Homo-oligomer: A and B are copies of this chain.
Amino acid sequence: MNRRSIIAGVVFTAVSLGTRVTADEQTLYGYSAESSRTERQWEEKLRAIPSPENLRSYMQHLSARPHNVGSAYDKENAEWILAKFKEFGLDAHIEQFDVLFPTPKERLVELVEGGPKFVAKLQEPPVPQDPTSNQQNEQLPTYNAYSIDGDYTAPLVYVNYGVPEDYEQLERMGVSVKGAIVIARYFHSWRGIKPKVAAEHGAVGCLIYSDPHEDGFVQGDTFPSGAWRPKDGVQRGSVADMPVYPGDPLTPGVGATKNAKRLNIKDAPTITKIPVLPISYADAQPLLAALTGRVAPEGWRGGLGVTYHVGPGPAKVHLKVKSNWDIKPVYDVIAKIPGSAFPDEWVIRGNHHDAWVNGAEDPISGAVAVLEEARSFGELLKAGWKPKRTIILCLWDGEEPGLLGSTEFAEEHYDELRAHAVAYVNSDSNGRGYLGIEGSHTLEKFSNDVARDVSDPETQLSVWKRSRLHEIAEAKSGEQRKEIRERADLRIPALGSGSDYTAFLQHDGVASLNIGFSGEDGGGIYHSIYDDFYWYTHFSDTDFVYGRALAQAGGTAVMRLADADLLPFEFGDFADTVQTYLKELKALSEKTRDDIRERNREIEEGVFKATDDPRHPLVAPAAEAVPPHLNFTPLENAVEEVTRSAGEYRKAFDQANGNGGTRLASASLAEVNHLLIESERKLTNSQGLPNRPWFKHQLYAPGFYTGYAVKTMPAVREAIEQKEWKQADEAIVVVAGVLRDEAALIASAASNLAAAK
């Protein structure tokens, strides 16, 4: 998997000092002046170590053959990584889980009526100049993992991206997908949403294709001439219902150990309700060309040289999907550097190592950075560095099918992680461009600080400064620009899902960050056989300088967390962020009311009747009850408490930071650090979200109907979106309670810090 956004961070506090100082002279947040100096020296050594040549050679090795879950090379890679960790001087082991992992037995897509008889190729051809593209014997066929088995022949309907709003439009067009096979294009939601929503609307099958508009020749020249998806390229991927729970479908909430209690496959709720297959745009074209009916609305038209119609039919498609439903091992490779002062406080870093095929970009470009970080830590340890806290480096297996390795690990070690984990720093894929950082807002300031100390290989600016200027360039309004220019820290987006931080953050309540470079590395080989060493070294971070920058960023973050006197959690940015969420929710609720009121008025005025074109009639919407006002007061009060306690913490910190911050180095801060570690845990509750109890975090979750994209304060936001007003009012109380507890924790940390000697 792989999902990145461009954003980054660190301001630093030169502003408040009133003088211009260089980064080196700045005292690190959470460090005494003295420990900051020492830390800076170690960090500089660290950042000098990662080598592009090593990254390149690791990638060449790890992506030399297909290494999906269950493949021989997946296991070989795990053992090779383990050996590397040991070679670097680290204590390491492999932790194995046994998970349900279906692989294709039968796949068929054919046009049986409504156009020239056509059987989809479902096959990605090798490319002569690309030496690993011809390893067909080891390549997983193109498929969507965790599609239910099925065999249907039915009329085809084009459903655009296949998200709920598309079905609203279909309804207005008078088109039903009941009993139909839908064809949806990739993008605008995580892929698993498409069969889920299709099934909710009565479809019997689902095809997902890569349209050249988003993912092919419209974007640029196609592989091997260019970086973009060729006509026969297919995006594999999981379609398990991960917004319900990720990980092994048979062992929700517990580690998939040998003897774990397992659900029957037929009872596993995250397996799709209808069969699904992904296809290339070459395979999609004859199917789409055979549709008639209404011409697709403007926003629905893709880049194929055809008129897009919605159908249904006359195209009739035969879809057959059958899998081998086997249990396969996943091999998480774990290395540990024990902490010298606080061994029970764990700083965790991870990236997955499994791929859909060769996976040079996804995930090896990120995995090699973690390996190089491990080597760097090994070097520093040899040179005498003693991290205060325990560092755990993880190369996960089974991320692609469903975040399997990381989720089973986070479930299996739930209690330990709740007790010990300080933070989890994830990466996945990496490319050229800007450092993207997403994550917990208690670490927003921290992540800005890290970005300030990493250098961009193209411009030699700090990656923070480059991101800041990029955000100014991309700002949509003067107001946005003003905020960027005036706010000390760049905002970081919240985490939804799509990579291995999910279980740590959203199930275990561990403060998490996800980092990676991107933005100048376009391409369309995602989850295809063409995501390989040849492609990566021709079209992405070809000289691995951004790979080095990622190792520098990841290494710096981990090290700075591990060595801090006072853990660098900060609550001003956090309070500011929850304030904006509250504002958004109030606006969303008002907008929903206004929209319904306006639509009712238009129905009454006769707008829909008057503007209906009898040659292309639409179904007018029905009037709806105007929703009640929601009672946001509990949240307003809770957010205010968070803001107030954040101020108290800031004040206590400033006092402790006086006189060279010697008080920060005090041993009496153990309790404060413990409270800081708890601060993310406090944002979870044991019941979890309504209807998906696995997701415990009350601030961040992937949307039930977006899959990747985050919904912040999800219980409230999704209730409003789904017009469940009673549930929204209840959720406000729950989230307010969580925030009040958080505020109390922060206040307690503040008074503890103030009392520290």
Contacts and interface: CB of A to CB of B under 8 A. Distances in A.
Given A220-B295, A481-B598, A598-B481, A465 B610 contact: yes
Given A304-B305, A306-B217, A307-B218, A473 B611 contact: yes
Contact of A478 (B308, B594, B606): B594
Chain A, interface size category, equals: 35 or more
A218 B469 contact: no
A605 B469 contact: yes
Interface string A290-320: 0000010000010111111000000000000
A615 B520 CA distance: 9
Contacts of A602: 472-473
Interface string A329-343: 000000000000000
A469 to B, nearest CB: 4
Contacts of A611: 466, 469-470, 473
A355 B306 CA distance: 31
Interface in A406-462: 432-433, 458-459, 461
A218 B301 contact: yes
Nearest to A456: B610
Contacts of A228: 307
A442 to B, nearest CB: 29
A465 B598 CA distance: 18
A293 to B, nearest CB: 11
A221 B307 contact: yes
A303 B308 CA distance: 12
A37 interface: no
A469 B606 contact: yes
Contacts of A308: 218
A217 B472 contact: no
Contact of A469 (B459, B470, B594, B610): B610
Interface in A567-617: 594, 598, 602, 605-611, 613-615
Interface in A112-156: none
B220 A607 contact: no
Contacts of A432: 613, 615
Given A472-B602, A478-B594, A478-B598, A458 B307 contact: no
A433 B614 CA distance: 10
Nearest to A474: B611
A269 B226 CA distance: 46
A306 B212 CA distance: 10
A69 to B, nearest CB: 35
A601 to B, nearest CB: 9
A520 B613 contact: yes
Contacts of A459: 609-610
Nearest to A466: B610
A602 B484 CA distance: 13
A91 to B, nearest CB: 42
Interface in A604-647: 605-611, 613-615
A218 B432 CA distance: 34
A217 B305 CA distance: 8
Given A295-B220, A307-B217, A607 B520 contact: no
Nearest to A228: B307
A469 B303 contact: no
Interface in A456-502: 458-459, 461, 465-466, 469-470, 472-473, 478, 481
Interface in A204-259: 212, 217-222, 226, 228
Given A218-B307, A220-B307, A469 B607 contact: yes
A607 B472 contact: yes
A328 B63 CA distance: 74
A228 B308 CA distance: 13
A222 B295 CA distance: 12
Contacts of A610: 459, 461, 465-466, 469-470
Contacts of A217: 305-307
Contacts of A307: 217-222, 226, 228
Contacts of A469: 605-607, 610-611
Contacts of A466: 610-611
A630 to B, nearest CB: 21
A432 B470 CA distance: 47
A192 to B, nearest CB: 28
Contact of A458 (B219, B598, B608, B614): B614
Contacts of A221: 295, 307
A169 to B, nearest CB: 15
A598 B613 CA distance: 46
A605 B218 CA distance: 34
Contacts of A606: 461, 469
A95 B218 CA distance: 53
Nearest to A595: B478
A83 B111 CA distance: 59
Nearest to A292: B221
Contacts of A461: 606, 610
Contacts of A481: 598
Contacts of A520: 613, 615
A143 to B, nearest CB: 27
Contacts of A301: 218, 303
Contact of A305 (B226, B303, B470, B615): B303
A739 to B, nearest CB: 32
14 contacts: A212-B305, A217-B306, A219-B307, A220-B307, A222-B307, A303-B305, A433-B613, A466-B611, A469-B605, A470-B607, A470-B611, A473-B602, A473-B608, A478-B594
Interface of A: 212, 217-222, 226, 228, 295, 301, 303-308, 432-433, 458-459, 461, 465-466, 469-470, 472-473, 478, 481, 520, 594, 598, 602, 605-611, 613-615
Given A459-B610, A469-B611, A472-B607, 12 more contacts: A218-B308, A221-B307, A226-B307, A301-B303, A305-B305, A466-B611, A469-B605, A469-B606, A470-B610, A473-B602, A478-B594, A520-B615
Which 9 A-B residue pairings sit nearest by Cβ, starting from the closest? Answer: A305-B305, A469-B610, A469-B607, A217-B307, A520-B613, A220-B295, A473-B611, A470-B611, A473-B607
